Chains A and B, each alone.
Chain A
């Protein structure tokens, strides 16, 4: 039987089409209907001048974050906005589209008035101005941040929500972050050997705080000052935030103002009452920092319909908090057979990787799934397997396999299988 999911077939076919066009074999009449005027208006007047800070084309205006405001006008800054993953390509999230999760809005912080205090189990409590932070040697890395509540529309509703991929899975974004290794700042304060955790606190009006194991802090945590080359956006913690590669978004404390070294976790609200994972035995898992291995097909997905049978590129995003993505497999039959997708280079650790695979759609119903495996051998779970671990309505850590049904009419639906 001829394979319809094949990495090489699409490329070979693409070359054939290009070759035919170059040889003038595409009929001119077929192109005339959708051809622009020979001399469009924008070629007949001078264009706009340069600008101090650019913005997207007005024709891209619909590409926006999806706002989630559970308290409405009472607290419009409590909630989230999701990255429109389905409208983007590559792996890096534009700064204005990075997802947001705030617990009482975005503070407007004057960097000249902002300080970072490190205290607790240290030799000397130290205060850093933002200018002082900028004197430290810096480092950069590409990595994702994912909110613990990502993809929970798929776990908290009984029926599959018919929403675009970004509105379900868009609490993940990927950025090149630059800043100072936290270890350098801790070294200046002098870590007391009794310290084993730290509390990080933000300067927002929730004074959002989270406990973090010192081991992680000394490993790869960054005090981030820049995102994708420019200073942090206010929604991302301007002027300074924590970056915990691969770990729960909530612990990546924004608007960082205080770090207290301790010998035990603080048991803050967002590590007890929230961001904990109730299990069927009546207990709850606490400090579930590691974000699981995960992938989702972005193209096609709800809102990105098929346009008749033929060849399509399936593409999507994969990531793991434990390291690099090693493999992504794609199924068009609901998980009965799997085909390995190509991973777009470069593949970074704890970062989003794009996968691609050509697919010949024959105009019949198909169930598209993707399944990621990371370099530690962790495999993305099927939905049923994932659900079994938790109580119903599980809010966090949904890394289960997404299924999109391609209907015979070419429309796409979110389905639970």
Chain B
């Protein structure tokens, strides 16, 4: 609905030269092209395809150490929660009288877990985890939920292949 490159603008060079106001914006650009390096450094979002996942890897054993040091004080032992959200358990509970919505029972994509952990956790020091730590603690949480085994390595190749129990639990309401 917004049109800005109208041909009405600057119909003649004479009009521009005379500093004549026009009814629409000339074909000007106000930004500058971003370099590939800038984009790569800024882009931390990870879709379900795993596109853009960084190098590095980690497993649940390594992740447990990260969790104990940096996550447990808010998310409780083995992800039981309190004061922050519970992260484990609840599979099969969503339609029950006491649904427990966790990474294992509710989250549809494992990539979301990596993405969010890397960008926002821990709350007191976000974006401080190394890629290996982020993969490892992701692996630990997936293992706590019995989705992968203790020795499974999570990395750019394996993480997008993880099928979450509630993968088909969401209904797209964006067009309602």
Spell out A's residues near B (CB within 8 Å): 70-72, 74-75, 78, 103-104, 117-119, 124-128, 132-133, 135-137, 181, 183-185, 187-189, 199, 201, 205-209, 213, 218-220, 257-258, 260, 262, 264, 266-269, 272-273, 276-290, 391-392
Contact = CB atoms under 8 A, between A and B. Distances in A.
A272 B120 contact: no
A206 B171 contact: no
Contacts of B127: 207
Which 9 A-B pairs have CB atoms at the shortest separation, nearest pair first?
Answer: A282-B95, A287-B174, A126-B31, A125-B34, A269-B116, A207-B119, A286-B170, A132-B30, A285-B173
Contacts of B56: none
Given A125-B39, A258-B42, A286-B170, A188 B31 contact: yes
Contacts of B44: 207
Contact of B33 (A104, A126, A260): A126
A126 B34 CA distance: 5
A206 B120 CA distance: 5
Contacts of B2: 181, 183-184
A287 B172 contact: yes
Given A268-B115, A273-B107, A277-B173, 5 more contacts: A184-B4, A207-B127, A267-B111, A278-B99, A290-B176
Nearest to A72: B83
B48 interface: yes
Nearest to A75: B123
B39 A104 contact: no
Nearest to B5: A187
| Contact residues on B (Cβ < 8 Å of other chain), bracket | 35 or more
A137 B4 CA distance: 9
Contacts of B101: 273, 278
Nearest to B170: A286
Given A272-B108, A286-B173, A119 B47 contact: no
B66 interface: no
A205 B120 CA distance: 6
B4 A187 contact: yes
A286 B169 CA distance: 10
Contacts of A260: 43, 45
B1 A209 contact: no
Contacts of A258: 42-43
A272 B85 CA distance: 14
Contacts of A269: 112, 115-116, 120
Interface in B23-38: 25, 29-34, 38
A264 B109 CA distance: 14
B48 A282 contact: no
A74 B74 contact: yes
25 contacts: A75-B124, A119-B43, A126-B32, A183-B2, A187-B5, A189-B31, A199-B45, A207-B127, A209-B45, A213-B174, A260-B43, A264-B47, A266-B45, A267-B111, A273-B85, A273-B112, A278-B101, A280-B95, A283-B171, A285-B171, A286-B170, A286-B172, A288-B176, A289-B174, A290-B176
A105 to B, nearest CB: 9
Contact of A74 (B46, B83, B85, B119): B83
B126 interface: yes
Contact of B31 (A128, A285, A286): A128
Contacts of B1: 183, 218-220
Contact of B39 (A117, A209, A264, A392): A117
Contacts of B173: 277, 285-289
B109 A283 contact: no
Contacts of A117: 34, 38-39, 42
Contacts of A124: 33
Nearest to A269: B116
A188 B29 contact: yes
A72 B138 CA distance: 26
B68 interface: no
A267 B172 contact: no
Contacts of B169: 282-284
Contacts of A277: 173
